[in-house]
Amino acid sequence: MVPQWIIEKKRDGNALTPEELQYFIEGYTNGDIPDYQMAAMAMAIYFQGMSLAETATLTELMMNSGDLVDTSAITLPKVDKHSTGGVGDKVSLLLAPLMACCGTAVPMISGRGLGITGGTLDKLESIPGFRVDLSEREFVAVLQECGCAMIGQTGQLAPADKKLYALRDVTGTVPSIPLITASIMSKKLAEGIDGLVMDVKWGKGAFMKTYEDAQELARTIVHVGTRMGKGMAALITDMNQPLGLSAGNSVEVIESMEALQGRGAPDLMEVTLELCAQMLLLMKQADSREAALAQLQQQIDSGAAFARFKQMVQLQGGDPAALDDYARLPTASMQEPFPAPESGVVQEVSAEAVGRAVVVLGGGRAKTDDRVDHGVGITNLCKVGAAVEKDQPLLTLHANSEDRLAEAKRLLADAVVIGDAPVKPDPLIKEIIKPEQDK
Ligand code: URA
């Protein structure tokens, strides 16, 4: 096969055969196909798209480019959740212990924050001592002991994606539905799970800016996962305003611990509990959505979910006492409220502006190798529909530098829109996509 002929075939809008895709992905992973040819191929895919069959083949090839986690020692149903990323999205920290308390195992391989979207690993690393770099053996041992474990992608897991994602990042080829699907699913399916629930976010603070794109991505992912024999469902959730009341790292850990003890913000709990309920239904751990929700609430009310999270933290080398005594978590030296410029009703809270402000404060990353400041962030976020008085705080900034604080305030100047009209926020969960709806 000749690489440029395969690129030309895709450039001209033709479907690639499994053999051609295999030649390309294997060649790229082992270095036979150089970056410039893969970049041209990614751009051809970006413009021409891929059929569902091509996307499934690409996913499988990328998954098989490296090791698969051997979770066969775990007899419980293995299920995970993946979010396409958002601002204030701390759902994983609640969901993993909740699901572990409900008789499933959650082998979660998470990512770091990039751009305006936060990352579970950065949040977890704000807990003193917490290790996200467990070996596969340690990962499986933690899972066996407490039913959930959370680590980062190892070098051996889906290496084709690791290489291709870095290339897409610098060649303008990230927002392609087949490439995003293959990237996400190659990593998730390598975890050795039986089922996966996706949280596909749409809106100003999400990858997918339009609802239609989010729908297409959700359908594609559900199709590919189902084709590979996994139980699948996808929620499409709003990311126009941040999720919950905080954005950052240690501030989100604190919000999550409060939520695990029954004091969660309504939007955060709605998304978390619906994702968990769908996971329980997929894994046949509940007979109905109502029964699933009751089971989950009981794990919060009894303190079991909070205790399970602490157990996981301890097993992964972290200090569980920091989850009761927040002073042990990283904090910022300055806390400053951001006052409302006028009285009225909050019409909009831009997740994008809040995400950018967190990055500027040092809590997020502009480049993959940037270091994050775990103590900075934003708390007490106002929500769409709230009535506010002039000078009432709309949010609180946590900063470690005057310059960064000033820049974050500039970015937030227009983030909260206040008007006179009462607002009914859009539904947070607009749709749940399941395989039978999948085309
Ligand atoms: N997350 C991923 O892992 N890959 C993508 O392509 C986009 C989001």
32 is known as an active-site residue = no
Centre of ligand 1 to C-alpha 183, Å, is: 5
**Ligand 1 pocket, mutate which of 165, 187, 191, 202 (most atoms under 8 A from CB):** 165
Residue with tokens 């990230």: 174
Q: What HEC string does the chain produce?
A: CCHHHHHHHHHCCCCCCHHHHHHHHHHHHHCCCCHHHHHHHHHHHHHHCCCHHHHHHHHHHHHCCCCCCCCCCCCCCEEEEEECCCCCCCHHHHHHHHHHHCCCEEEEEECCCECCECCHHHHHCCCCCCCCCCCHHHHHHHHHHHCEEEEECCCCCCHHHHHHHHHHHCCCCCCCHHHHHHHHHHHHHCCCCCEEEEEEEECCCCCECCHHHHHHHHHHHHHHHHHCCCEEEEEEEECCCCCCCCEECHHHHHHHHHHHCCCCCHHHHHHHHHHHHHHHHHCCCCCCHHHHHHHHHHHHHCCHHHHHHHHHHHHCCCCHHHHCCHHHCCCCCEEEEEECCCCEEEEEECHHHHHHHHHHHCCCCCCCCCCCCCCCEEECCCCCCCEECCCCEEEEEEECCHHHHHHHHHHHCCCEEEECCCCCCCCCEEEEECHHHCC
Output the pLDDT for position 439: 45
65 is known as an active-site residue = no
Centre of ligand 1 to C-alpha 398, Å, is: 29
Choose between 265 and 364: higher pLDDT. Answer: 265
Output the pLDDT for position 80: 97
Determine which residue's CA is closest to atom 7 belonging to ligand 1.
Answer: 180
Q: What is the mean pLDDT of residues 275-303?
A: 98
Assess whether pLDDT exceeds 80 at residue 366.
Answer: no
302 is known as an active-site residue = no
Confidence tier at 376 by pLDDT (50, 70, 90): very high
131 is known as an active-site residue = no
Determine which residue's CA is closest to atom 2 belonging to ligand 1.
Answer: 184
Residue 109 Cβ < 6 Å to ligand 1: no
Q: Which atom of ligand 1 is nearest to the CA of 168?
A: 6
List where CATH 3.90.1170.30 sits in the chain.
330-419
Assess whether pLDDT exceeds 60 at residue 437.
Answer: no
Assess whether pLDDT exceeds 90 at residue 154.
Answer: no
Q: What is the pLDDT of residues 18-41, one digit of tens each?
A: 999 999 999 999 999 999 999 999
**Ligand 1 pocket, mutate which of 184, 191, 200 (most atoms under 8 A from CB):** 184
| The pairing of beta strand 231-238 with beta strand 195-202 | parallel
Between CA 397 and CA 354 the distance in angstroms is 10
Q: What is the pLDDT of residues 32-69, one digit of tens each?
A: 999 999 999 999 999 999 999 999 999 999 999 999 99
Centre of ligand 1 to C-alpha 201, Å, is: 13
Residue 186 Cβ < 6 Å to ligand 1: no
Residue with tokens 């085309």: 439
**Ligand 1 pocket, mutate which of 45, 59, 81, 84 (most atoms under 8 A from CB):** 84
Residue 45 Cβ < 6 Å to ligand 1: no
Q: What is the mean pLDDT of residues 418-427?
A: 92
Residue 184 Cβ < 6 Å to ligand 1: yes
Residue with tokens 């997929």: 282
Centre of ligand 1 to C-alpha 289, Å, is: 29
Centre of ligand 1 to C-alpha 434, Å, is: 21
List where CATH 3.40.1030.10 sits in the chain.
79-324+429-437
Q: Which atom of ligand 1 is nearest to the CA of 184?
A: 3
Centre of ligand 1 to C-alpha 419, Å, is: 36
Assess whether pLDDT exceeds 80 at residue 438.
Answer: no
Catalytic residue among 10, 81, 90, 168: 168
Catalytic residue among 161, 238, 267, 438: 161
Q: What is the mean pLDDT of residues 209-221?
A: 96
Output the pLDDT for position 118: 84
User: Does the domain spanning 79-324+429-437 belong to CATH 3.30.70.2500?
Assistant: no
List where CATH 1.20.970.10 sits in the chain.
3-49
Confidence tier at 74 by pLDDT (50, 70, 90): very high
Assess whether pLDDT exceeds 50 at residue 305.
Answer: yes
User: Does the domain spanning 3-49 belong to CATH 3.40.50.880?
Assistant: no
Determine which residue's CA is closest to atom 5 belonging to ligand 1.
Answer: 180
Catalytic residue among 78, 81, 82, 90: 82
Centre of ligand 1 to C-alpha 58, Å, is: 14
Instruction: Determine the topology of domain 330-419 in CATH.
Output: Aldehyde Oxidoreductase; domain 3 (3.90.1170)
Assess whether pLDDT exceeds 90 at residue 169.
Answer: no
Centre of ligand 1 to C-alpha 85, Å, is: 9
Residue 183 Cβ < 6 Å to ligand 1: yes
Catalytic residue among 65, 110, 126, 183: 183
Q: pLDDT > 70: what percent of the chain?
A: 99
383 is known as an active-site residue = no
Centre of ligand 1 to C-alpha 312, Å, is: 26
**Ligand 1 pocket, mutate which of 62, 171, 183 (most atoms under 8 A from CB):** 183
Q: Is 297 exposed, middle or buried (0-12, 13-18, 19+ CB in 10 A)?
A: middle
Q: What is the pLDDT of residues 117-147, one digit of tens each?
A: 889 999 999 999 999 999 999 999 999 999 9
Between CA 255 and CA 94 the distance in angstroms is 10
